[in-house]
Amino acid sequence: MKNNIKVARAKKNITQAELAALAKVSRQTINAMELGKYVPSTVLALKLASIFETELSELFILDKEDWE
Q: Tell me: the pLDDT tens digits for 47-68? A: 999 999 999 999 999 888 888 7
pLDDT value at residue 68: 78
Handedness of CA 32, 33, 35, 37 (dihedral sign): positive
pLDDT value at residue 34: 97
For the chain, which domains are there?
2-67 (1.10.260.40)
Write out the H or E segment, with its range, that includes residue 42: helix 42-51
- List all residues 6 or more positions away from 2 whose beta carbon is below 8 Å from its beta carbon: 36, 60, 61, 62, 63
Q: Tell me: the pLDDT tens digits for 19-44? A: 999 999 999 999 999 999 999 999 99
Residue 15 has pLDDT above 90, yes or no: yes
